[in-house]
Amino acid sequence: MGLTMDHRKAQDLLAAYALDAVDADEVATLDAHLAECPACAGTVALLRGTAAELAAITSHQPPDHLRDQTLAAAATRRSRPLIEPADAIEVHGIEADRLGQLLTTITDDQWTVSAGPAFPDWTVHDLTAHLAATETLLATQLGIGDLSPDTAAEAEARAHEAVARHRRLLPIAAVGEFNAASSAVSQAVTTSPAFDGAATITWVGVELPVDLALTHRAFEIWTHADDIRVALGVDRLPPPPSSLVTMSRTVVDGLPFMMLVAEAEHPGRVAELHLTGSGGGTFTIALGADGGVVPFVEAPDVRVEIDVVEFCRAIGDRVEPAGVTYRTTGDSRLGADLIRSLPVLAIL
227 & 287 share domain: no
pLDDT digit string, tens, across residues 120-173:
999 999 999 999 999 999 999 999 988 999 999 999 999 999 999 999 999 999
Domain final residue pick, 186, 214, 239: 239
Domain assignment present for 157: yes
pTM over 0.85: no
For position 79, what pLDDT does the model report?
Answer: 37
Domain final residue pick, 239, 259, 277: 239
Q: What number is the average pLDDT over the span 179-183?
A: 97
15 & 158 share domain: no
Domain assignment present for 81: no
Q: In which band, very low, low, confident or very high, does the pLDDT at 312 lie, cut at 50, 70 and 90?
A: very high
286 & 309 share domain: yes
Higher pLDDT, 61 or 192: 192
- Structural domain for 187, as ranges: 88-239
12 & 149 share domain: no
Q: Is the Cβ–Cβ distance between 279 and 310 less than 8 Å?
A: no
The mean predicted confidence, pLDDT, of the chain is 86
235 & 251 share domain: no
225 & 94 share domain: yes
Reduced to 3 states, what is the DSSP secondary structure of residue 306? strand
Phi, psi of 19, rounded to the nearest 5 degrees: -100, 15
Q: Domain tally for the chain?
A: 3
229 & 121 share domain: yes
| DSSP-assigned letters across all residues of 41-65 | HHHHHHHHHHHHHHHTTTTSPPPHH
**Planar angle of CA 284, 286, 288, nearest 5 degrees:** 150
Reduced to 3 states, what is the DSSP secondary structure of residue 337? helix
Domain assignment present for 126: yes
Domain assignment present for 1: no
- Going by C-alpha positions, the residue among 337, 153, 168 that lies closest to residue 261 is 337
Higher pLDDT, 64 or 144: 144
**Maximum Cα interatomic distance, the chain, rounded to a whole number of Å:** 79
185 & 46 share domain: no
Q: What number is the average pLDDT over the span 190-209?
A: 84
pLDDT digit string, tens, across residues 82-115:
688 999 999 999 999 999 999 999 999 999 999 9
Domain assignment present for 82: no
Please say if the pLDDT value at position 256 is more than 70: yes
102 & 182 share domain: yes
CATH of the domain at 254: 3.30.1050.10
Higher pLDDT, 59 or 272: 272
The upper half-sphere exposure of residue 86, i.e. CA atoms within 13 Å in the direction of its Cβ, equals 20
pLDDT digit string, tens, across residues 25-52:
777 787 787 777 776 776 767 667 665 5
Please say if the pLDDT value at position 348 is more than 60: no
Residue 289 DSSP one-character state: T
CATH of the domain at 103: 1.20.120.450
169 & 269 share domain: no
Domain final residue pick, 224, 239, 254: 239
* 253-258, long-range: CB < 8 A, 24+ apart: 253/285, 253/292, 253/293, 254/345, 255/285, 255/287, 255/291, 255/338, 255/341, 256/285, 256/286, 256/287, 256/288, 256/289, 256/290, 256/291, 256/292, 257/289, 258/341, 258/342, 258/344, 258/345
